[in-house]
């Protein structure tokens, strides 16, 4: 049974549909990448799953729960976390406060210690305001904040946005690490070639519709689609998915 | 102009500034969290002052119990208008909510006038002699006002920085969408916000009633200086709101020595303009592009 099941979802911010007739799923512990051209509706799809889209139709089921019936604040309770593309931490709060403020974390103090173990760079910066962190630290904090509630699915909106290539590699390492702690990932990524290289599956979005769904490896191997939607370039070596082939 | 006059004016400015820091903080908290400038803030203050007067007149309470009564009544009225007006308009534009808050201000003032008329009132406090330190005069009443305002400000800063509710408030002020995605229920925070800011306005009004004559326009006339102080300090910054309004009040009082009381507000606004030319985001505000 899929962890997240999106069926016939359409919606947008105004009267015009940005995404239309979306059908997709994410299985437990799976990394799924949504790729596509600029303006294809990738981030809108992620926002729809998190409840941040003003108008939406269809159904989004998470582990048997109808998400569309839940307010945003309750989605974290059923096991979903979200890391936005920009402003993904509370800049005016310290690192520690960013973690403390997350609701639905059982045994919050112990969970914070776990997060500092998982992201040791943050432990020494716990009193620093998030707005003063470096790009890499900030992204780690965004991940830690998202993991505070022990989610089973993390929605990532372009985690490598505005990061240097070195930091991008570091962030992708963190994404891969999520699978090892039993967390599934649904990720929108502009650097799709790199992301698909370690994703179990991928969806290609164009003008708000899914035009192709396949394993990450097969999508990268499809030269025609790859040139149009993913961009040329080489995927990093040794980045093949380790489990859950579609 | 001797330095003693300037020092006495500055002390008076500090007392008035600290007193107005309470509603100024309410303005900046509502702006930061509910995201609109609440023009009813001044009239909530007026309500606080009138409640103190009424409590003394009809219930015979002491000043302290009357002030607590004023805080409670204003907090309840603030909550009432939140549930009745501002919650319903939460998704509307900032301008729509500003206009609605002006309507609330008129409603509060008209209700006060309906029951209390246009007569002047005073909060009944014992007459005291000013302390004189080599020409620098300080009224014990002013010291009580200063201490009360300072204590209230310390309490609210402790709430903001040391309690889970305060963290939630700061999180929503920083990034409302991320706060919702983090499971923070903004409606609960709003109830606390409107209770707290209402109580603060009530306290500010009660203290102002001790220092000035209570009339229906008491708070409304202070609205512009309060907004100016908040802008001077940096919109959305609680520390900025306090320091901004204190700076603005000192500037007003000192300017009255040179330009005369009618022009003191002009002088204070000149200072405001000069600061904003050098630092458009105010003394403690963050540049909007970075938010």
Q: What is the model's pLDDT at position A232?
A: 55
| Inter-chain CB proximity A88 and B173 less than 8 Å | no
Q: How many CB atoms lie within 10 A of CB B117?
A: 10
What backbone phi and psi angles, to 5 degrees, belong to B10? -65, -40
Strand extents, DSSP E, chain B: 131-133, 136-138
Per the structure, the count of domains in chain B is 1
> What residue ranges of chain B have pLDDT lower than 70?
1, 286-291
Q: pLDDT for A154-187, tens place per residue?
A: 999 998 887 788 888 888 988 998 888 889 999 9
Q: How many CB atoms lie within 10 A of CB B126?
A: 7
Q: pLDDT for B150-194, tens place per residue?
A: 999 999 999 999 999 999 999 999 999 999 999 999 999 999 999
Domain of residue B212, CATH code: 1.10.3470
- Is A203 domain-assigned? yes
B224: closest CA of chain A, how far (Å): 28
Per the structure, the count of domains in chain A is 1
CB < 8 Å to B178, chain A: 84, 87-90
Domain of residue A205, CATH code: 3.40.50.300
Q: What is the model's pLDDT at position A242?
A: 44
CB < 8 Å to B186, chain A: 73
- Is A165 domain-assigned? yes
Which range of residues forms the domain containing residue B42?
A: 3-290
- Is A243 domain-assigned? no
| Inter-chain CB proximity B184 and A81 less than 8 Å | no
The secondary structure element, H or E, covering residue A185 is strand A184-188
CA distance A239 to A216: 11
- Is A28 domain-assigned? yes
Kindly state the DSSP code that residue B2 receives in the 8-state scheme. Answer: -
Interface pTM, i.e. ipTM: 0.86
- Is A236 domain-assigned? no
Which range of residues forms the domain containing residue A58?
A: 4-230
A79: closest CA of chain B, how far (Å): 11
CB < 8 Å to B290, chain A: 131
The minimal CB distance from A100 to the residues B167, B175, B183 is found for: B167
- Is A245 domain-assigned? no
């Amino acid at each position: 049974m899929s962890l997240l099941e999106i069926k016939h979802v359409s919606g947008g911010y105004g009267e015009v549909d940005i995404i239309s007739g979306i059908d997709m799923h994410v299985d437990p512990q799976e990394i799924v990448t949504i790729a596509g051209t600029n303006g294809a509706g990738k981030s809108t799809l992620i926002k729809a799953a998190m409840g941040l889209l003003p108008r939406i139709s269809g159904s989004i089921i998470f582990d048997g729960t109808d998400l569309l019936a839940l307010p945003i604040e309750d989605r974290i309770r059923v096991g979903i976390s979200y890391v936005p593309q920009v402003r993904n931490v509370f800049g005016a709060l310290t690192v520690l406060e960013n973690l403390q403020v997350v609701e639905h974390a059982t045994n919050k103090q112990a969970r914070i210690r776990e997060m500092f173990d998982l992201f040791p760079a943050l432990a020494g910066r716990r009193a620093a305001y998030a707005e003063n962190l470096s790009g890499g630290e900030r992204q780690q904090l965004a991940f830690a904040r998202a993991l505070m509630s022990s989610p089973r699915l993390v929605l990532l909106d372009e985690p490598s946005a505005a990061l240097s290539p070195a930091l991008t590699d570091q962030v992708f390492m963190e994404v891969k690490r999520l699978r090892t702690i039993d967390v599934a990932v649904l990720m929108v990524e502009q650097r799709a070639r790199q992301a698909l290289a370690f994703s179990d599956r991928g969806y290609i979005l164009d003008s708000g519709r899914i035009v192709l769904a396949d394993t990450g490896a097969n999508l990268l191997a499809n030269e025609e689609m790859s040139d149009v939607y993913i961009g040329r370039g080489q995927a990093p070596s040794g980045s093949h998915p380790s489990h859950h082939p579609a | 102009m001797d330095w003693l006059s300037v020092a006495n004016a500055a002390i008076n400015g500090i007392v008035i500034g600290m007193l107005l820091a309470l509603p100024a903080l309410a303005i900046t908290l509502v702006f930061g969290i509910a995201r609109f400038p609440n023009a009813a803030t001044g009239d909530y203050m007026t309500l606080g002052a009138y409640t103190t007067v009424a409590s003394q007149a009809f219930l015979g309470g002491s000043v302290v119990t009357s002030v607590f009564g004023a805080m409670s009544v204003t907090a309840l009225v603030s909550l009432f208008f939140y549930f009745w007006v501002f919650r319903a308009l939460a998704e509307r534009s900032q301008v729509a909510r500003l206009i609605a808050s002006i309507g609330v201000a008129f409603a509060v003032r008209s209700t006060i006038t309906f029951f209390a008329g246009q007569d002047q009132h005073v909060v009944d406090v014992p007459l005291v002699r000013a302390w004189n330190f080599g020409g620098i005069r300080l009224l014990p009443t002013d010291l009580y006002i200063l201490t009360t305002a300072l204590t209230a400000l310390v309490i609210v800063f402790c709430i903001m920085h040391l309690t889970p509710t305060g963290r939630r408030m700061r999180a929503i002020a920083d990034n409302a969408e991320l706060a919702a995605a983090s499971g923070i229920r903004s409606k609960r925070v709003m109830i606390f916000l409107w209770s707290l800011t209402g109580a603060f306005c009530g306290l500010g009004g009660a203290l102002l009633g001790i220092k000035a004559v209570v009339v229906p326009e008491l708070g409304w006339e202070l609205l512009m200086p309060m907004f100016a102080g908040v802008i001077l300090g940096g919109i959305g910054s609680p520390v900025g709101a306090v320091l901004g309004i204190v700076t603005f009040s000192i500037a007003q009082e000192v300017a009255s020595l040179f330009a005369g009381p009618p022009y003191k507000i002009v002088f204070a606004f000149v200072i405001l303009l000069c600061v904003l030319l050098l630092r458009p985001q105010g003394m403690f505000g963050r540049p909007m592009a970075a938010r």
